[in-house]
Structure 1
Amino acid sequence: MEDDPIKNGLSSKIKIPIIILTLITLCAMGALFIKIAYSVSSSEKLSDSYQYLRNVGDKLRNEGLHEQAIDQYIKYLEKTKIKNPSRAMVAHSVGELYMELSNCEEGLTWLFQAEEAGATYHRADELKKHIDACSAKINSSKAINHNIK
């Protein structure tokens, strides 16, 4: 007696390709999930790996080496490409350092970047005061230069 394919379910000719395709699909999905997990963790690690630049900048600032601190902070911002309150804080620090070096033109650039980067920046009031002080200083020096000419 021959086996009736209807009574026994699917034939072997159909079962084998379905099983193979199922295994291939599972492997592809597993590889995709592994790749996604790796890319998420590697971007977090990459951001953390540049934290040393910010730490060095903080130490240089505490030692009064403003120009060197600015260099470290700018390298940190360039390498991390962060877009959060941390960017606002570092840009604000760079602006403050330029203010301390009496370079309000460059300081305003960074203060405005901090203003744009941090909508919920916790030092927003202080940032606004720095922007106003630099703007006033630039305007007064322009007026003095205009009166001299």
Structure 2
Amino acid sequence: MSIRLAGVAIFLVAALYAWTAQNYTAPFGDVLGPSVFPIMVGIPAMVLALSLVVFPGGTVSWPGPTRLVRQGLALAALVAYSVLLEPLGFPLATATLICVVGIIMGGPVLKSAMIGLIGSLSLWVLFDPVLGLPIDFFGTLFGG
């Protein structure tokens, strides 16, 4: 029964994701627009989720309390990231997210911080200068 419930939950999230993407617009970029990719991800996710409902299989073992807390903390970090992205700017918010998730997953603090810093700067360079997708380096908090 748990697999079917997971399938229904995944279907609902994927349907909301694809439906919300219909209104995405951007004054730059591909001719098809920014809504194509989320819809291309959402529709197959809905189909695969329905397959879990129709053809459930396997056994389910729920994680222990420690893992549930870690998953909750990771989810809280993602929500905090979405709230802090605009005020902090992409590199600082992304570096913080990567570092925090690394620590939550049991990584050493220094390595998590280094990976967060290198990863966020690499992503910013990839998206902004290389691909030409403007991402705010300095957030509104820093006058960006």
Query: Which structure shows the bigger proportion of residues in helix conformation?
Result: 1
User: Which protein, 1 or 2, shows the higher relative CO under an 8 Å CA cutoff with sep ≥ 6?
Assistant: 2
TM-score w.r.t. the length of structure 2 is 0.28
Larger Rg: 1
